[in-house]
Structure 1
Amino acid sequence: MQRLTRSGGKKPRKRKWLFIKCILSAGLLGMCAMGIMLLYLFQSELPLADSDRNSQLLDQNGNSIAVFSSGERNRISVTLDEISPWLIQATLAVEDRQFYDHIGFDIKGMTRALLVNLKEMDKVQGASTLTQQLARNLYLSHERTWSRKVKEAMYTAQLEMKYSKDEILQMYLNEIYYGGGAYGIEAAAQMYFGKSAKDLNLAESAILAGVPKGPTYYSPYNHMKNAKDRQLTVLSALVATGKITQSQADEAYAEMLSFKSQKQRTTADQAPYFRDYVRGVVIHELGFDEELLEHGGLRIYSTLDMDAEKAAEVAVTSELNGSEGLEAALVSIDPRNGHIKALVGGVNYTQSQYNHVFATTRQPGSSFKPIMYLSALSSGKMTSVSKFSSQPTLFHYDENRKTYSPKNFGDKYLGEIDMRRAIAASDNIYAVNTIMTVGAEQVIELGRKMGITSPMEAVPSLALGTSPVSPFEMASAFAVISNQGKKITPVAVLKITDDKGHVLYEAPSPKAEQVVDPAAAYVLTHLMESVFDTGGTGNRVSASIKRPVAGKTGTTSTDAWLVGYTPELSTAVWVGYDKGKILGTAESHKAAPIFAKYTEKALEKVPPKIFPIPDGVVSLYIDPTSGLLATADCPDKQLEVFIKGTEPKEVCAEHGKGKGESVQPLPVKEKPESHSWWSDLKRWWMD
């Protein structure tokens, strides 16, 4: 057998070429694998991220006002051009100077960090780029494992492939944590300095750019010295990169900064009580999954008017400021379409998230009376000139087996009065006489039609508002009166879209149900306007309201109310204590000024309008003493309105010779749309 010897030289050459082929093949396979991996990463979707997938709540103008998230994160997203250039430059200088030049990984920086760490035999230096930090914050935990490092590299590559550098930088500045619950530069700017990110100056930018490295350690609220030392580092980095001069750095470092008080810091979400209410509507009424709401990137288009909402919040806080433990609720609905325009569920959301707007444990007191009077007017059993004697009375009911003896506030009794005087003065005796005449069951039936869903007990005291209801129910019911007897179900959510803009839900067009005769609703409105006239229980705030308004106060030992409306808004205001503490005299008068302040501010850009007068209304001069048609001899004449067919036909014979002719009724016509002189006009009209 022949053998190959070393001298033949064939075997070493074969091995050499075989080695080269293996190297080339491995390199080719590696390149193919890398290409396949890059293609896979490019085509693969990035996982959901809490920050950019939180569903947003938008107001009636399409502006984002809140996010839905299980965490207590203070976050407001802004675009890159809404951020101060100083902040952008400071962040790049101290965090990632080569950001616009690398592909997501700073190879030089990583090598340098590796050498330093090997020298020190410890991890003393890192080299994460902004893209790596973003990938980590968006998609990963902060555990130090090899699997997390691999995922971080993959997500970093995907971010660089799918987004431009500006988009990555914008996402980073909206995502990074600045301490104190503030995620993103806009929330941080608002929290620390009470201003927008676009208005930050160099000194403020240098402070904030330094915080993310250690949000607790470098927080000016926690360690001012550390924050100033870090600010100096940031300013030095800006000088080193040529973005500012040393003189600018020195001036910025020496600047005295005005930080917002920690007590002034609140959640970035606006209208938090409304946000919580919408959350419940979306999940429980519209059937959306909570996980989808939390992380599905939905956009919830709502009815909220932020101008009205801010007016409501200011009205509540300004009146209750310094009143320890005193709570309030305000809800305002546009009666013409059912849109909820403002909703304040309490005085301070950070202290109590309980939404008093939907609390059904509060007695409405006399604010419930208009529902009963509307029932009386609609039935035809009573008119605005129907009279009862206001005096201590023992009422018998339940087939005379039970008795009820109501009292007027302060034991003040007015003698024989009509419905207008009874409403203005909130007379309890007249009210109970009315429910005894109409029947409690009929009042309950009408209340149900108008939107009262809480249980109502068919007893005489129902007339005085002893059956608890919520402010939401009261605003809904009064909206029916304002809307000429038409009920439109209140709505908060108009549309929901997914993260790609596809419509997932759209509210149906509002359907108006005529539950009360328009003429009856107008007659009651005309009577309720007297609540704000001289002698009315709302007179103390009449000077603050410069437009036609109708309403009713209500006071119990523990609850104060004012529920009222204009043609544009139906608003319920409640004030009281959570534990049922007795209200003092001053506290019981808080609801009316809240209503007045809110109504005027919310409608300051809306010209005053009168309540439209429907068909079927008759306007007549009445002698207030007899309740009959006034004559020229009657010393006092009162303009009153009636449902056509219920007006008095007899002429007053108590004055002059008793043979005077009736004064001709005024034609029903529109009044000028102004109210700086509204009360004077009404008095002139009735003279």
Structure 2
Amino acid sequence: METSRNVTAVKAFQEVGINKAKAFGERLGIKLDTIEEAYSIGGFKTGVSSFQMAGAYGAFGNNGTYNAPHTVSKVEWTDGKVMELTPKKVVAMKDYTAFMITDILRTVIEGVDGTGRLAAIPGIQIAGKTGSSNFTEEEKKQYNISDGIKDSWFVGYSTELTTSVWTGYGTNADGYIDTNPGSIEGQLAKRLFKEIMTYAHKERVAASFKQPNSVVRIGIEPSSGRIPSNSDSSSKIIYEYFVAGTQPVKESNESKKDDNKNPGKKQNDDDDDKDDEDKVKPPNNKKKK
């Protein structure tokens, strides 16, 4: 996600499947009659509005609870009668899903190669995602465009607020600005997001994203995906989040393989353990009758 690779999004969609992806979108206020693989990278036939995107992304910053975007929360009459108009909250996902997606989307802002680095706000943790669409070859020829992007998006959030920004052209016409991704115009969505969110947080204190109890953070050896052995140096270890109960529990054999080159050391004979044995099963939280 840090570098906005389309392949990653498509593969995730394929793993989840159309039905689950569609249902997840509906819980976030995005209701679609049909859904295709291209939708995973924004290849919509009809698309969604920035209003809908703000509502959907807000759920990730709200521990998985979706609040439908609205402008009026209640109406009060002079006789004291009150009509509550705040939409009902919907638990759209588990808190661990919201947190782990947020952790991934933070790399878009904070990563060395993050495509959303211009949206970073000093002192405020932000998670978000960039997006763009291209002109077709026919459009380039028709409107004399050498290069550029037709639409540019940035949707991001803190623990307090969510903002969705779209810049681009709603209709085809002559006189398009040649907006390549690296130009000022091509970066406009991120710049607007930063200005809006900086101003909106002047009187709000946004807390850092909090790791829920359903998530654990452990060190692993990247080459094996297992927990490091005692002989591993700290330079070999990276730290990752896991849903509690699914984290690796077996020790890496990489060091042991190296040790085998030394006749004075004995290699463990469990090198051929299956990957699915490296993890413990998630806890069964069902209550007994």
1:634 is displaced (CA, Å) by 5.5
**Deviations 1:529-557 (CA, angstroms, capped at 9, x unpaired):** 11112111112343x44211111111112
Q: Name the structure 2 match of 1:530.
A: 107
Distance 1:623 1:470, change over 3 A: same
2:197 equivalent to 1:596 = no
Q: Name the structure 2 match of 1:471.
A: 50
CA distance in 2, matches of 1:630, 1:554: 37
CA distance in 2, matches of 1:633, 1:546: 33
Q: Name the structure 1 match of 2:35.
A: 458
CA contact (8 A) 2:75 2:85 kept: no
Q: Name the structure 2 match of 1:584.
A: 179
CA contact (8 A) 1:444 1:456 kept: no
SS of the residue 1:595 aligns to? helix
Structure 1 gaps of 5+ residues are: 1-422, 661-687
Residue type of the alignment partner of 1:592: K
2:205 equivalent to 1:607 = yes
**Deviations 1:205-242 (CA, angstroms, capped at 9, x unpaired):** xxxxxxxxxxxxxxxxxxxxxxxxxxxxxxxxxxxxxx
Q: Name the structure 2 match of 1:620.
A: 218
SS of the residue 2:8 aligns to? helix
SS of the residue 2:73 aligns to? strand
CA distance in 2, matches of 1:640, 1:518: 17
CA distance in 2, matches of 1:472, 1:466: 18
Residue type of the alignment partner of 1:564: G
1:625 is displaced (CA, Å) by 3.8
Q: Name the structure 2 match of 1:563.
A: 155
Q: Name the structure 2 match of 1:514.
A: 91
Distance 1:517 1:444, change over 3 A: same
**Deviations 1:391-421 (CA, angstroms, capped at 9, x unpaired):** xxxxxxxxxxxxxxxxxxxxxxxxxxxxxxx
Taking only aligned residues, the RMSD between alpha carbons, in angstroms, comes to 2.4
**Deviations 1:546-604 (CA, angstroms, capped at 9, x unpaired):** 21111111111221111111010111111111224576122221111111121122102
1:637 is displaced (CA, Å) by 2.7
Moved more, 625-634 or 611-620: 625-634
Query: Structure 2 length as normaliser, TM-score?
Result: 0.73
Q: Name the structure 1 match of 2:165.
A: 573
CA distance in 2, matches of 1:655, 1:574: 50
Distance 1:633 1:456, change over 3 A: farther
CA contact (8 A) 1:529 1:551 kept: yes
**Deviations 1:466-497 (CA, angstroms, capped at 9, x unpaired):** 12111111111111111111122222113334
1:617 is displaced (CA, Å) by 0.7
Distance 1:563 1:456, change over 3 A: farther
Q: Name the structure 1 match of 2:71.
A: 492
CA contact (8 A) 2:220 2:226 kept: yes
Distance 1:509 1:589, change over 3 A: closer
1:644 is displaced (CA, Å) by 1.4
Residue type of the alignment partner of 1:609: A
CA contact (8 A) 1:435 1:463 kept: yes
Distance 1:489 1:458, change over 3 A: closer
CA contact (8 A) 1:567 1:609 kept: yes
Among 2, 19, 23, which residue is 1:445 paired with?
23
CA distance in 1, matches of 2:86, 2:11: 41
* Paired residues for 1:417-436 under 5 Å: 423-436=1-14
How many residue pairs get aligned? The number is 234
SS of the residue 1:628 aligns to? coil
Residue type of the alignment partner of 1:648: P
2:247 equivalent to 1:647 = yes
CA contact (8 A) 1:495 1:503 kept: no
Distance 1:493 1:541, change over 3 A: closer
SS of the residue 1:522 aligns to? helix
CA distance in 2, matches of 1:566, 1:583: 32
CA distance in 1, matches of 2:54, 2:220: 32
Q: Name the structure 2 match of 1:638.
A: 238
1:645 is displaced (CA, Å) by 2.3
CA distance in 1, matches of 2:206, 2:190: 20
Query: Structure 1 length as normaliser, TM-score?
Result: 0.32
Residue type of the alignment partner of 1:614: P
1:503 is displaced (CA, Å) by 4.7
CA distance in 1, matches of 2:72, 2:158: 23
Q: Name the structure 1 match of 2:275.
A: none
1:509 is displaced (CA, Å) by 5.7
SS of the residue 1:521 aligns to? helix
Residue type of the alignment partner of 2:103: H
CA contact (8 A) 1:545 1:596 kept: no
Among 118, 124, 146, which residue is 1:547 paired with?
124
**Deviations 1:337-375 (CA, angstroms, capped at 9, x unpaired):** xxxxxxxxxxxxxxxxxxxxxxxxxxxxxxxxxxxxxxx
SS of the residue 1:614 aligns to? coil
CA contact (8 A) 2:220 2:237 kept: yes
Structure 2 gaps of 5+ residues are: 135-149, 260-266, 269-289
CA distance in 2, matches of 1:481, 1:425: 20
